[in-house]
Amino acid sequence: MNLMRSILAAALVASVSVAAAQPAGVLRLGYSTGPSSLDPARATSGGDRVYLLPVYDRIVRLTNAGEPQPMLATKWEFTKNGNGLLLTLRRGVKFQDGTPFDAQAVKANIDRYRTMEGSTQRAVLSAVSEVNVLDAGRVEIVCKEGCGGLLRTLGDNPGMMVSPKAFSNPDLATKPVGAGPYTVSEYRPGARVVYTPVAGYYDKSNQKLGGLEVTALPDDATRLNALRSGQLDMTFLRPYQVEEAKAAGLKLVGNRGSIWYYVGMNMKRSKFGDVRVRQALNYAVDKKGITESLLKGYCTPSDQPLREGTLGYAKQTPKIVYPYDPAKAKKLLAEAGLPNGFEFDAQVWNIPLFVQIGEVVQAQLAEVGVKMKLQAAPVPQVMGSYFGKQATDAFVGGNLGSLDPSATVANLYLPTGFFNPSKHSTPTIQDAYAKTVKSPEDAERQKAFETLIKSAMDETYHIGLCDVLTPVAYNNAVQHVTADAPTWTWDFYGIEVKR
């Protein structure tokens, strides 16, 4: 009897300890594309972050609201009257190949990002003039005209630290070597990247998964089918799929990113040189109606390019500066000498959702007598034609913001901005921009952003549509998913999988 009791007790203890030691689950994520490169210096798309973040820890980690938090730097302060950024680095961290992480490694990385031929990060680091190693644990970055925008930038690709020993590895694009919580154990081009946890990683709350499998499934329906049939744990959806996902019993969250949908008007083309015409078109479009009908509420109507609640969003300027008012649109057109409207051509990304948005905008403009000739084309073609060659009057699409709002507005509103095809700008915008970069203090920067955004809204560069909430669906095994992510996608911080 005693023996029996002992056996039962032993079995009970064993089962409890097995339950306690249940290994962390692997997260199987469905994504739309494979990575362009796993070397952050060569990665061309914001969509690569989902593949890069597990491997590469950044200098700082950005919170939900875009606030910098310690990651590889534990402390930072602005020096040289805002022209220097002094970073104190985390001690005892090693890259995945065993190379120690120190100030030399930071200098090597930032110099590589800003000078290497073919680096896609040169533009965002153009403000940096030199990187000085003070000692093994401290490094100072010097900027030409203020380091204000630099800190958040170091939460993105330019802050991703690659082992300097691996810089010359010919296979860095497929076998990344970072200082992050996971390492790539399998890379199948265009199909799947598998990550396994790194032993001895310093921050356990950033390493709660037993592993990660990111599968590239370009077709929207296929991604949802894979989630429904249990082959995936999590994926993002298009708004029209939300009902199907809900009906299938999946959990849903609207992932706040930094994408803003808008219609661009080249002020050097068609009748767009006249601000009254640009404003008339704004009044003619029912932004609220579009977000509710086409985007099922997964987009908040906004004329402002920066997301509400983050640095740079102008609180003193209305979110919708130009509400739906076709009568006012007609009046403005008449004032501009176009009582019978006019005709212009526009290109739209050949992605079904954008084509639909374009068609609705087209119909609404027709109501006030304006004829928009809409042509759908692949994304690179549209970007090349509208932004590159400035060969199209208008554009229907989106803007994927940079992690630092200064970079986002520079691209949209400065004469040097790629996403500003007419190169139109005003002294107010340029002065305010200089202040957003110059000042290291967020409060000071915010003041400058208020001025800048107000002026940009008065200039009416775009027909703003909405701030995107990407619907993310996941099954019951995935826990602690939050609605916010500073980047377009999430960095898996704190996410667990329990099967």
Partner 1 sequence: MGRHLLRQLARTAALLVGVSMLVFSLDSFIPGDPAIVLAGQNATEADIARTREQLGLEKPLVQRYVDWAGRALHGDLGRSLFTGQPVAMEIGARLPVTLSLLTLALLIALVLGIAAGVAAALHRNRLPDRTIVTAASVGVAMPNFWVGLLLVLGLALALPLFPATGYVPLTSDPLGWLAHLALPAVGLSLAPAAELTRQVRGSVIGILQRDFVKAATAKGLPRRTVIGKHVLKNTGVTVATVAGIQVSVLLGGSVVMEQVFGLPGLGPLVLDSVTARDLPIVQGIVLVSTALILVCNLAVELSYGYFNPKVRT
Q: Is 120 in the site for partner 1 (CB under 8 A)?
A: yes
Work out how close the CB of 139 gets to partner 1 at its nearest, in angstroms, rounded to a whole number. 23
Q: Is 36 in the site for partner 1 (CB under 8 A)?
A: yes
Cβ distance to partner 1 smaller for residue 92 or 190: 190
Which residues, other chains included, contact 171 with Cβ-Cβ below 8 Å and sequence gap of 6+? none
State the Cα–Cα distance between residues 243 and 254, nearest whole angstrom.
13
Q: Is 45 in the site for partner 1 (CB under 8 A)?
A: yes
State the Cα–Cα distance between residues 158 and 292, nearest whole angstrom.
37
Q: Is 46 in the site for partner 1 (CB under 8 A)?
A: yes
Provide the token pair at 481: 């998913």
State the Cα–Cα distance between residues 351 and 378, nearest whole angstrom.
8
| Whether 451 contacts 286, CB under 8 Å | no
Cβ distance to partner 1 smaller for residue 34 or 180: 34
Work out how close the CB of 215 gets to partner 1 at its nearest, in angstroms, rounded to a whole number. 7
Q: Is 175 in the site for partner 1 (CB under 8 A)?
A: no
**Closest residue by Cα to residue 313 from 449, 426, 465, 473:** 449
Q: Is 427 in the site for partner 1 (CB under 8 A)?
A: no
Give the number of C-alpha atoms closer than 13 A to the C-alpha of residue 21, restricted to the C-beta side.
6
Dihedral angle over CA of 480, 485, 489, 495, nearest 10: -20
State the Cα–Cα distance between residues 175 and 38, nearest whole angstrom.
7
464 phi/psi in degrees, rounded to 5: -70, 145
Cβ distance to partner 1 smaller for residue 223 or 278: 223
Size of the site for partner 1 (CB under 8 A): 55
Candidates 173, 320, 360, 477: give the one binding partner 1 (CB under 8 A).
173
- x-marked contacts with partner 1 along 211-240 as a string, rule CB under 8 A: ----xxxxx-xxx-xx-xxxx---------
| Whether 207 contacts 182, CB under 8 Å | yes
Candidates 374, 383, 434, 477: give the one binding partner 1 (CB under 8 A).
383
Cβ distance to partner 1 smaller for residue 63 or 385: 385
| Whether 435 contacts 189, CB under 8 Å | no
Q: Classify each residue of 76-113 as buried b or exposed e, where b means 16 or more C-beta atoms within 10 Å of its C-beta.
A: bebeeebbbbbbbbbeebebbeebebbbebbbbbbebb
Candidates 117, 249, 316, 340: give the one binding partner 1 (CB under 8 A).
117
Cβ distance to partner 1 smaller for residue 103 or 124: 124
Q: Is 79 in the site for partner 1 (CB under 8 A)?
A: no
Stretch that binds partner 1, among 78-86, 260-268, 334-342, 374-382 (CB under 8 A): 374-382
Stretch that binds partner 1, among 44-52, 81-89, 325-333, 433-441 (CB under 8 A): 44-52
Q: Is 208 in the site for partner 1 (CB under 8 A)?
A: no
Residues at the contact surface with partner 1, assessed by CB under 8 A: 33-37, 42-46, 117-118, 120-124, 126, 173-174, 188-192, 215-219, 221-223, 225-226, 228-231, 377-381, 383-385, 387-388, 400, 402, 407, 411, 416, 418
